[in-house]
Structure 1
Amino acid sequence: MTTHRLNMLAVAVGLAVSSVSVQAEESQQVKADEKIEVISVLGSRMANRTATESTSPVDLIDSDDLNKGGFTELGQSLQATAPSFNFSRTQVSDGSDLFRPATLRGLQPDQTLVLINGKRRHNQSIFGLNGTVGAGAAGTDMNAIPLIALKGVEVLRDGAAAQYGSDAIAGVINLSLNNSTGVTTGYVQAGSTGEGDGDTISIGLNRGFDIGDDGGFINFSVEYRDADGTNRAERDIGGSVDVPAGTLSDEVRWGQGNADSEFTSLFYNMALPMNDVELYSFGGYSNRTALGNGFYRNFDQAAKNVVQVYGDGFLPRIDNEAEDISFALGLRGEINSDWGYDVSAVYGENTYDFHSKNTINASYAAEYVFNNPGASDADIIANAGPSGGYSGGFRFDQTTVNADLNGTLDIGRADPIYLSVGAEYRKENYEIVPGEEASYACGLANMDTSYPSVNDPNQFAECGFQAYNGLRPEASNDESRHSYAVYADAETLITDAWQVSAALRYEDFSDAGDDIIGKLATRYEVNDDFAVRGAISSGFRAPSLQQSAYTAYTTNLGASGELEQSFTATAGADFPSALGVDKLELESSENLSLGFVWDVSSELSLTLDFYHVEIKDRITLGSLMSAEDVAFSPEAVAALNATGAEQANYFSNSVDSTTKGVDIIAAYNTDLYDGAFSATFAGNLNETEIDDVNAPEGVPDSVALDDLQRSFLTDGQPGERATLTFEYERGDYNSMVRFNYFGETDVSYFANDHIPLGDNFKATSTVESAVLVDVNVGYHLSDEVMLSVGIDNLFDQTPDELGEDEVLDAISNQAFKYPLRAVPYGFDGMTYYAKVSFSF
């Protein structure tokens, strides 16, 4: 088949197989003898272009590099190899025990487009709520995809919405599935933390089979992972019915760390040539569970607890379950020697469910005591309702159909125009599933009635389960939408040294409107060793259904430091409408990039790329507001009171922002003492500024965008990231030392600017900059089996421990050891592992 047969969304399935690090685009050139015949990459339609010859910066990361080190999750592995990629940790935030925000260049998770084999991947059904990095953004669940299934990853670090569609404001990540045949590969890995917890076992197996005699294949991947939880919390001073508050507890009662989790997945990749047509298909299934923690409920929190049931208080648990299904089917072939076509359909579905455990609905016992004033403790316990149950869930599915033509136009010059044209149709559905009645009900009768708490008649008992208040039927939703797009992409060589490309796209969403966007990019070779490249593009992102159709009751910390019932209103509901927000609009963006590629010598290469991204009408999830916060609007106060919650928030196009920065990559490869040595430095400097707050008339800027939101947008992710990796391979031995640098993060959440406790407490919550060191040594026991051992975070780097002047220390009764939010490298400290890999 013609090498020009690239569809409009296609990227290379094949990446180079390498014995040295390929975490940067430049190292691809060094391994020219190991490249497949044609390397096609993101950002280019020209089939004879390598990454360093592309007009846009592209990182090529092969499977060997993804699997070096002890990381078993795709998100962690990408963070260690591509510094523009962030994978922040969050604790005690609904759902965070399973998904983490995956971002490029400090933007939101839903502003990066993820592809598999060049086809759009569906987003997850859930997003981080208020007080997290990526709050309100339903990105792609990177950890739903097993590492064993991947041949490699390509990361396009440039705005590409005109080429690939809505969401590609920050860039594009393409995941290429394994297409090998005739070989069985796999691994068994076991590890633990330096604290002796978090024992993990992971097993992966891959096998490909030939189909027919014309290059057909089918490749299967299976991966299983089981991990014990970790806990870095400490003993607290919350007290109990037998121990006065202020006395240190005998045991650790709170939870801070990774959850007990289990992961099972099965993926496949297939292609079957049939004369001049190739049928292809790929897809997968994954299921993950994680048992997370809420805030500990103290024994004397009468609105939330019943001391007859939990005399010491209780730690509510949230059992999270995520299930992911995807399936793609397509036909591609030749029209003639110059033109080819590709027609495909991709279906993806993500479901997320919450089950509450070790919890209570305090209103059940309160109603019983109200109707039976002389009830005994035994009677109260017997009528306190269930200690757990189903709290609700979310569903999202997406079907994408593409039809593309790709080929060349001969215009009488030495180089033709490479042209791609195509169309896309997409259908999306989003559903909110209510929980069982006990998870949200007000008393057994579930009436609109408040009952005095069992243990303090001056307080009313809260309705619903603690930690994850059930999704109510009135908050359930089932919405759908569709979109279509047409697009064209052209690329050519003006001269042997000057390459130019242009893309144009029109896209229309049934619920959010339409837009026309474009991109111009160029690359000029000054000489054989030095080239400059740059691009200018416009882009957009339509509000997701997860944003426009989301509504729920949750439990969050209020400004007093107490947990309060909260409500998130759908776009156009009474509360946001009273504050001037009737619907969500398209985000729009302008992206500029300029850089160079320099082969300093045959052993050393360097790239430097500057970028400047302006986003208008950026969608944010507002902070929770009380009646006092919106007292300037009687209509908003009335709408808030009608929800029955103490505080509420909503989505809006509240922000205009500018993100600018620079990516630098240097790769050095040489022979050393009869072995191969490589050193790769990859760094990112990034800064986001708020240009304007889009507050409706009569609404203060602090309501449209308060300091909590602002801090996550501008300082919630490291402004500086870098990795320095040294690798050496000789004979049967190989080794790696990697330095990971994370810049400081500084947010207002869980600090005095969020919960004012007095002048003696710190205004913000800071996670200091840190360098984590990973080491790995491998030895080939035979041609088929390799043993590797390693330590991640060798020097046990963790965030600075909380002091007595930290709000989080005070509100957790000294239980939390580290900050909870905007932690880029986690809480666990050192981990170690042993891994046996095999191939036969």
Structure 2
Amino acid sequence: MRLNKYFRLHTLAIAISTSIPCVSTFAATAEVVDENIESIAILGSRVSSRTATESSSPIDIISSESLTKGGFSELGQSLQAMAPSFNFSRTQVSDGSDLFRPATLRGLQPDQTLVLVNGKRRHNQAIFGLNGTVGAGAAGTDMNSIPMSALKNVQILRDGAAAQYGSDAIAGVINLELKDTTNVTSGFIQTGATGEGDGDVLAAGLNTGFDLGNDGGFINLTAEYRDYDGTNRAQRDTGGGSNTAPGTLSENVRWGQGNAESTFKSFFYNAMIPLDGMELYAFGGYSNRTALGNGFYRSFNEAEKNVPQVYPDGFLPQIDNEAQDISTAVGLRGEINNDWSYDVSATYGENEYDFYSQNTINASYAAEYLSNNPSASEQDIASNSGPIAGYSGGFRYDQLTFNADISGSIDIDHGENLFVSFGAEYRKENYEIVAGEEASYACGASNSPTSFPSVIDSDVFAGCGFQAYPGLRPNAANDADRNSYALYLDLEKQITEQWNLGAALRFEDFSDAGSKLIGKLSSRYELTDSLAIRGALSTGFRAPSLQQSAYTAYTTNLGEGGVLLSSFTATAGSAFPAALGVQGLNLETSKNISLGLVYDVNSALSVSLDAYRVKIDDRITLGSLQNADDVSFNPEAVAALNATGAVQGNYFSNAVNSTTQGLDVVITYQTELLAGNLDVTLAGNLNETEIDSVNSPDGIPESVALDDLQRSFLTDGQPKQRATLTFDYTREAWSGVVRANYYGETDIIYFGNDHIGLPGFLSPTGSFKPTSVLESAVLIDVNLAYQLSDNLQLSAGINNLFDKTPDELGEDEALDFITNGAFKYPVRALPYGFDGMTYYARINFSF
């Protein structure tokens, strides 16, 4: 067996587990089938001879060609269109979520899915969503930081795999395999826009590779760039202005509701050099992204927030987000003898995330100046109102991982070999919160401990800090680190010709959260040559991330009556949560069970069904904001909250025990049609999460530990039904894809009246709707391509052909009222967004 081929099948050094491999594969062309046979061992199995059809858990393998056929420029969007168990929610007016989006599997949290690159653990992002979003408080992996041009394929393991891959793999594992081609240069140029005429996109990518020596060494390089103009679906509002009475429709659209203006730049590499019977390999990359998001419009007469001498008609504050990712891995692998091999590696990754406020103001600056100079002129007030832009703060996270793995086989009783993998892992993590500049958080130019009467209304105190994203204060700055180590063992044996059995054990210890021993059993049995059943039982865990245990910050959130309030998120174990009985964060633990069948009806038609049940105890959630009245039963908690200077506060806790269960189905059909080849794939996911119980300390109401708002995001914030039906047709130089994407309904309280609490008499109908609902929808995507030559292909397409958007808000919706009619659609828990139809043209080249 050639060393190079053997180890490409063993790239996953940290996995050490054979129990799962699985597989239902979407892309069913002959080329993709061959790719599956070569690469299936990269995810799930440590057995070099194991193929996709012999696995015991479901894996989707999506080729790079399939990823780009939909015309999406972002990896997350492309995966969502092809893998129904993968969700990629859109949101807006939610701080950093304008740049990153929560990527989830099977309706769980972003940080309950482990992401790998070439089989090595990818670092998480430094930030998470806060302001009422899907995945709030969960720092997952930023899928959009990876350029699609660099990918050979994407493998999605839809099964609990913590016993094999460690913490975070409760919902499953996504492995991104980088290209290793040489002597070929390929790339693309793509442009597009929305049917509304905005959202112009320009994207370009280039990939090339070179041989290193004559023994199979290589280096593959990728560069990719995207520029996105952003979209806006807001309407003219009735908020009024300096020369316009409230209730009068504004002349222009002043609010922003749409995807942010953004840019993306990246460079990735993948390399290997043979060294005297060994292989030295390395890979990694750099990416930088920016996005200019919007806050809520500040009306001209909002005394707490505006300085009319600067913004006479109000203003739309903006948040300029910048994210930077750096990663690198280096390793050495080789054969100990004919039966055993080793792989040792070091992987480093870091994410930096910074916020810059624009078109904003700190209203307390002008308020303090007027307080000290009561006879000041309008011009003097404007001149002393402080900056209208500046740095609001940032977050840093880095991770260093060392792995050592040995794998091989033992001949037992001259029968089928027992395949064995074992090894160790050490991980070091660091997390830092960086304070913003003083004007971003201060109360007046003197940074007073209290604010000052507003320049608009002396009975109202001016808000402190920048509007939309008040800066991170020095007392919120933090620097934390931890380490962990793991030992793992994986066994797999073909008991009989029809029956395969696998087992995995893993012990992992975290310096800040404790230790856990977990395990997994998996099996596959062939009932006939064409029908097999498969299943797995496993326990798992997830350690609280440093982003959760060490996070603290002040933010602006929407309170009762649509009022924006200063809010505080307390560090785990600090005074406020401790007063409420939460001393710190513990491990999440899980129990997974899956059972499925794979049926090859004939050479053209195959079916796979996989049912699953995931029970998670001590699930970590970010609690809802509580004010002094909410915790009035506990004087100590009231005092701790008041000491922060915020109106309301929240914290992380192990608040929830939940059960998620569902069904995955994949049906593929291949046939010849009109002298061409037609591949049809139906893939679907049914999924439901229920809250079993709430872990509330003695004397603390459950509504404090987990209120209805957070409950609604966990149970109803993601579609419970998802499906894709894809027709992929090729005939000579022509090819085309038609795909129908179905999204089930989402229904959450955020921005519904159960959250806002508006009195019914304010509604023209006499009452406001209790929740914010996004109806179910079917989106149709079409792509057509023509191969001009061996080196050049032209393609064009339309996504969301029939311009499907959410139902427009009515006058009886709280969000319509608080935006003065500016917002046209709901803004949270949107699996397909509100841009409507988009179109694109693309040139692919290869030489």
CA separation of 1:486/1:750 partners in 2, compared to 1, >3 Å: closer, same or farther? same
Partner of 1:766: 773
Partner of 1:378: 379
State the Cα distance separating 1:33 from its structure 2 match: 5.8
Partner of 1:830: 837
Partner of 2:290: 289
Partner of 2:819: 812
CA distance in 2, matches of 1:348, 1:660: 33
Q: Structure 2: which amino acid aligns with 1:583?
A: G
Partner of 2:273: 272
Partner of 2:672: 671
Partner of 1:169: 170
CA separation of 1:605/1:405 partners in 2, compared to 1, >3 Å: closer, same or farther? same
Describe how 1:634-783 pairs up with structure 2 within 5 A. Answer: 634-759=635-760, 760-783=767-790
Partner of 2:361: 360
CA separation of 1:31/1:630 partners in 2, compared to 1, >3 Å: closer, same or farther? closer
Indicate conservation of the 8 Å contact 1:8/1:406, yes or no: no
CA distance in 2, matches of 1:293, 1:35: 43
Partner of 2:197: 196
Partner of 1:464: 465
Describe how 1:370-769 pairs up with structure 2 within 5 A. Answer: 370-759=371-760, 760-769=767-776
CA distance in 2, matches of 1:33, 1:346: 29
Q: Structure 2: which amino acid aligns with 1:183?
A: V
CA distance in 2, matches of 1:207, 1:42: 25
Describe how 1:9-28 pairs up with structure 2 within 5 A. Answer: 9=13, 24=25, 27=28
State the Cα distance separating 1:395 from its structure 2 match: 0.2
Q: Structure 2: which amino acid aligns with 1:822?
A: A
CA distance in 2, matches of 1:150, 1:738: 22
Q: Secondary structure at the match of 1:514?
A: strand
State the Cα distance separating 1:308 from its structure 2 match: 1.0
CA separation of 1:608/1:23 partners in 2, compared to 1, >3 Å: closer, same or farther? closer
Give the number of aligned pairs: 831
Residue from 798, 815, 840 that aligns with 1:791: 798
Post-superposition CA distance 1:735-780 (Å, at most 9, x none): 1100000000000000111011134100100000000000000001
CA separation of 1:8/1:786 partners in 2, compared to 1, >3 Å: closer, same or farther? closer
CA separation of 1:671/1:303 partners in 2, compared to 1, >3 Å: closer, same or farther? same
CA separation of 1:254/1:216 partners in 2, compared to 1, >3 Å: closer, same or farther? same
State the Cα distance separating 1:23 from its structure 2 match: 8.3
Greater mean deviation of Cα atoms: 670-679 or 602-611: 670-679
CA separation of 1:134/1:284 partners in 2, compared to 1, >3 Å: closer, same or farther? same
State the Cα distance separating 1:7 from its structure 2 match: 6.0
Indicate conservation of the 8 Å contact 1:4/1:340, yes or no: no
State the Cα distance separating 1:10 from its structure 2 match: 6.0
State the Cα distance separating 1:559 from its structure 2 match: 1.9
CA distance in 2, matches of 1:129, 1:33: 43
Partner of 2:20: none
State the Cα distance separating 1:359 from its structure 2 match: 0.4
CA distance in 2, matches of 1:281, 1:4: 17
Describe how 1:295-310 pairs up with structure 2 within 5 A. Answer: 295-310=296-311
CA separation of 1:61/1:364 partners in 2, compared to 1, >3 Å: closer, same or farther? same
CA distance in 2, matches of 1:776, 1:23: 24
Indicate conservation of the 8 Å contact 2:190/2:204, yes or no: yes
Q: Secondary structure at the match of 2:97?
A: coil
Q: Secondary structure at the match of 1:822?
A: coil
2:134 pairs with 1:133: yes
CA distance in 2, matches of 1:343, 1:326: 17
Indicate conservation of the 8 Å contact 1:240/1:299, yes or no: yes
CA separation of 1:11/1:696 partners in 2, compared to 1, >3 Å: closer, same or farther? closer
Indicate conservation of the 8 Å contact 2:36/2:52, yes or no: no
Indicate conservation of the 8 Å contact 1:29/1:52, yes or no: no
2:71 pairs with 1:70: yes
CA distance in 1, matches of 2:382, 2:497: 82
CA separation of 1:33/1:288 partners in 2, compared to 1, >3 Å: closer, same or farther? closer
Indicate conservation of the 8 Å contact 2:316/2:360, yes or no: yes
Describe how 1:53-202 pairs up with structure 2 within 5 A. Answer: 53-202=54-203
Q: Secondary structure at the match of 2:279?
A: strand
Instruction: Report the TM-score when normalising by structure 2.
Output: 0.97
State the Cα distance separating 1:406 from its structure 2 match: 0.6
Partner of 1:313: 314
Q: Structure 1: which amino acid aligns with 2:755?
A: H
CA distance in 2, matches of 1:11, 1:783: 39
CA distance in 1, matches of 2:34, 2:637: 67
Q: Which runs of 5+ in 1 are unaligned?
A: 13-21
CA distance in 1, matches of 2:533, 2:124: 35
CA separation of 1:215/1:312 partners in 2, compared to 1, >3 Å: closer, same or farther? same
Output the aligned Cα RMSD: 1.4
Q: Structure 2: which amino acid aligns with 1:144?
A: S
Indicate conservation of the 8 Å contact 2:769/2:814, yes or no: yes
State the Cα distance separating 1:47 from its structure 2 match: 1.5
Q: Secondary structure at the match of 1:547?
A: helix
Q: Secondary structure at the match of 1:96?
A: helix
CA separation of 1:39/1:167 partners in 2, compared to 1, >3 Å: closer, same or farther? closer
CA separation of 1:51/1:350 partners in 2, compared to 1, >3 Å: closer, same or farther? same
CA separation of 1:362/1:443 partners in 2, compared to 1, >3 Å: closer, same or farther? same
State the Cα distance separating 1:48 from its structure 2 match: 1.4
Instruction: Report the TM-score when normalising by structure 1.
Output: 0.98
State the Cα distance separating 1:670 from its structure 2 match: 1.3
CA separation of 1:36/1:23 partners in 2, compared to 1, >3 Å: closer, same or farther? closer
Q: Structure 2: which amino acid aligns with 1:647?
A: Q
CA separation of 1:348/1:785 partners in 2, compared to 1, >3 Å: closer, same or farther? same
State the Cα distance separating 1:561 from its structure 2 match: 1.4
CA distance in 2, matches of 1:415, 1:621: 50
Partner of 2:808: 801
State the Cα distance separating 1:40 from its structure 2 match: 1.8
CA distance in 1, matches of 2:566, 2:39: 57
Indicate conservation of the 8 Å contact 1:10/1:117, yes or no: no
Q: Structure 2: which amino acid aligns with 1:563?
A: L
CA separation of 1:38/1:23 partners in 2, compared to 1, >3 Å: closer, same or farther? closer
Post-superposition CA distance 1:108-146 (Å, at most 9, x none): 000000000000000000000041000000000000000
Post-superposition CA distance 1:696-737 (Å, at most 9, x none): 000000000000000000000000000000011001000110
CA distance in 2, matches of 1:271, 1:615: 40
Q: Secondary structure at the match of 1:523?
A: strand
Indicate conservation of the 8 Å contact 1:30/1:603, yes or no: no
State the Cα distance separating 1:8 from its structure 2 match: 5.6
Post-superposition CA distance 1:665-687 (Å, at most 9, x none): 00001122221111000000000
Q: Secondary structure at the match of 2:439?
A: helix
Greater mean deviation of Cα atoms: 169-178 or 41-50: 41-50
State the Cα distance separating 1:216 from its structure 2 match: 0.2
Q: Secondary structure at the match of 2:626?
A: coil
Indicate conservation of the 8 Å contact 1:415/1:492, yes or no: yes
Indicate conservation of the 8 Å contact 1:761/1:806, yes or no: yes
Seq. identity, %: 68
State the Cα distance separating 1:31 from its structure 2 match: 6.0
State the Cα distance separating 1:175 from its structure 2 match: 0.1
CA distance in 2, matches of 1:4, 1:618: 40
CA distance in 2, matches of 1:31, 1:711: 40
State the Cα distance separating 1:38 from its structure 2 match: 6.4
